[in-house]
């Protein structure tokens, strides 16, 4: 059986919401207005994140990368990657945040990731301009569209928030925490609650015996 894991990045692999923290730090006024509206589903992720990002001067970009450089990774992630390699199961990161944040935070661990998809930005103008290959519907990164690029018999999703909802509704097994668990409750979608990646590893180890 061919299995594959699709994993969110911000607030899932990272121990805190890295991308949201960047938005709040570099665009505090716009973020304060729009982030609550996104969580309440009053505006789409595509509208909100794009507006916030494109209000940030391009000159701030390097400072943004420096801001996330030492953000902690959630416990158990390295062990989880080893477990997946042992079982020959690929892992793909699907993030509604910035591609460069993933690269800066994970560093050499990227070599153990089979693919990662996120938002790119054009820094040539005065302000950042969003460039997303998977922008569709209400999402800046349509995670379901990314998943379709990777055929498998069993797809597993791991996430923590609103950006992971559509992806989670499309797979039979979801590991959810925080806001994502609440949204899945609203959709009557079964999920497995998790705290760190050791929880996920141990649950999958039992299932894959």
Q: Phi and psi of 108, rounded to 5°? A: -65, -20
> Which sign does the torsion angle of CA 112, 115, 121, 122 carry?
positive
Q: Closest by alpha carbon to 118, among 150, 90, 148, 140?
A: 140
Mean pLDDT of 135-160: 94
Range of the domain at 183: 3-17+70-207
23 lies in a domain? no
Q: What is the mean pLDDT of residues 185-193?
A: 97
pLDDT at residue number 162: 87
- Is residue 169 one of the residues assigned to a domain? yes
Q: Is residue 123 part of a domain?
A: yes
Burial class (CB in 10 A: 0-12, 13-18, 19+), 102: buried
pLDDT of 55 strictly over 80 = yes
Q: Is 24 contained in some domain?
A: no
pLDDT value at residue 39? 87
Question: Does residue 52 belong to any structural domain of this protein?
Answer: no
Q: What's the rounded mean pLDDT across residues 13-19? A: 92
Q: How many domains does the chain have?
A: 1
pLDDT in tens, 96-136: 999 999 999 999 999 999 999 999 999 999 999 999 999 99
Mean pLDDT score of the chain, rounded to an integer? 95
Alpha helices in 27-109 (DSSP H): 28-39, 45-53, 61-68, 77-86, 99-106
CATH number at residue 120: 3.40.50.1000
In a domain, 200, yes or no: yes
pLDDT on residue 77 = 98
Q: What pLDDT is stored for residue 17 in this prediction?
A: 86
pLDDT value of position 83: 98
- Asked if pLDDT for residue 1 goes beyond 80, the answer is no
Q: Which pLDDT score, from 0 to 100, does residue 96 have?
A: 92
User: Is residue 28 a part of any domain in this protein?
Assistant: no
Residue 209: is its pLDDT beyond 90?
no
Going by the DSSP 8-state scheme, the letter that residue 152 receives in this structure is: -
| Residue 47 forms part of a structural domain | no
């Amino acid at each position: 059986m061919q299995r594959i894991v699709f994993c969110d990045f911000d607030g899932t692999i990272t121990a805190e919401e890295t991308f949201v923290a960047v938005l709040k730090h570099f665009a505090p006024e716009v973020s304060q207005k729009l982030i609550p509206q996104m969580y309440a589903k009053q505006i789409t992720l595509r509208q909100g994140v794009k507006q916030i990002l494109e209000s940030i001067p391009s000159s701030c970009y390097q400072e943004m990368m420096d801001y996330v450089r030492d953000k902690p990774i959630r416990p158990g992630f390295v062990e989880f990657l080893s477990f997946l390699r042992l079982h020959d199961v690929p892992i793909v990161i699907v993030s509604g945040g910035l591609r460069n944040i993933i690269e800066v935070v994970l560093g050499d661990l990227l070599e153990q990731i089979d693919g990662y998809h996120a938002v790119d930005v054009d820094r040539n103008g005065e302000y950042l301009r969003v460039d997303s290959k998977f922008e569709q519907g209400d999402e800046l990164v349509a995670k379901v569209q990314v998943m379709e690029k990777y055929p498998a018999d069993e797809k597993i999703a791991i996430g923590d928030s609103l950006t992971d909802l559509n992806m989670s509704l499309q797979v039979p097994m979801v590991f959810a925490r925080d806001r994502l668990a609440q949204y899945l409750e609203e959709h009557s979608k079964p999920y497995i609650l998790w705290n760190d990646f050791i929880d996920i590893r141990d649950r999958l180890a039992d299932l894959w015996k």
